[in-house]
Amino acid sequence: MDLSGKVAIITGVSKGIGRATAELLLAKGMVVAGWGRTAPNEFKHPRFHFIRCDIRKEADVQKAYDATVKAAGPEIHVLVNNAGLGNFGPVDGFSSEQWHQMFDTNVHGLFYCTRAVLPAMKKQQLGHIINVASLAGTAGTANLAGYCATKYAVRGFSDALFKEVRPQGVRVTCLMPGSVETNFNGNEPGQQPDPHKMQPEDVAATIVHALEAPQTVLLSEIQMRPTQVK
């Protein structure tokens, strides 16, 4: 798909993968609506619209979608479901609140956002949904049971959705990165890039690669890993 002039929604836009993706899509000539609870610091662009939204709340998502249409027009061409969080620890050490917080963001919020954009994409017979999952959606890891469960759910949802909307010309890609140097889980990126981790810009470039694939090509699943391992 030629991205110039097209409209993208990115969730979790304040930092990390979301922000890097917004910057790259703007550089490609897109109009970007960034949804998040906090705005990205010192980030302004004439084609960037920050829309405050807590995707865990269904009503918030509908308001954000309406605001996006008002700001950018009725055609939505790309949705990057990037917002996500992880609470780590043993299963019997989890609070129910922590468990629900992960599912409300990683799974339920992703569903609300996807459902919001699908009618326009189907009508256009053109659209691309990128669901940012994780390699945690391919193999279980001790002390990551809740997070893995959400990412397995995202992978299953993506696999079913791409088969469902394929006839309408809508593409769905499930992107599964491994270790990325971000603020995920409260960690701060180091001053020097970690050679054993990918950078947010690497993931953003892969998202663009999937979006720019010929319309006859669907990259349904992409797994990403650092080349060097510890």
What is the rounded distance in angstroms from the CA atom of residue 119 to the CA atom of residue 205?
A: 27
Beta-strand pair 221-224/170-177 = parallel
How many CB atoms are closer than 10 A to CB 6? 22
In degrees and rounded to multiples of 5, residue 81 shows phi and psi of: -80, 90
What is the rounded distance in angstroms from the CA atom of residue 212 to the CA atom of residue 218?
A: 10
The catalytic residue positions are 147
Q: Where are the beta strands (DSSP E) in 22-139?
A: 31-36, 48-52, 78-81, 127-132
* Contact assessment for residue 148 and residue 136, using Cβ atoms and an 8 Å cutoff: yes
Q: CB-hemisphere CA count at 13 Å for 205?
A: 6
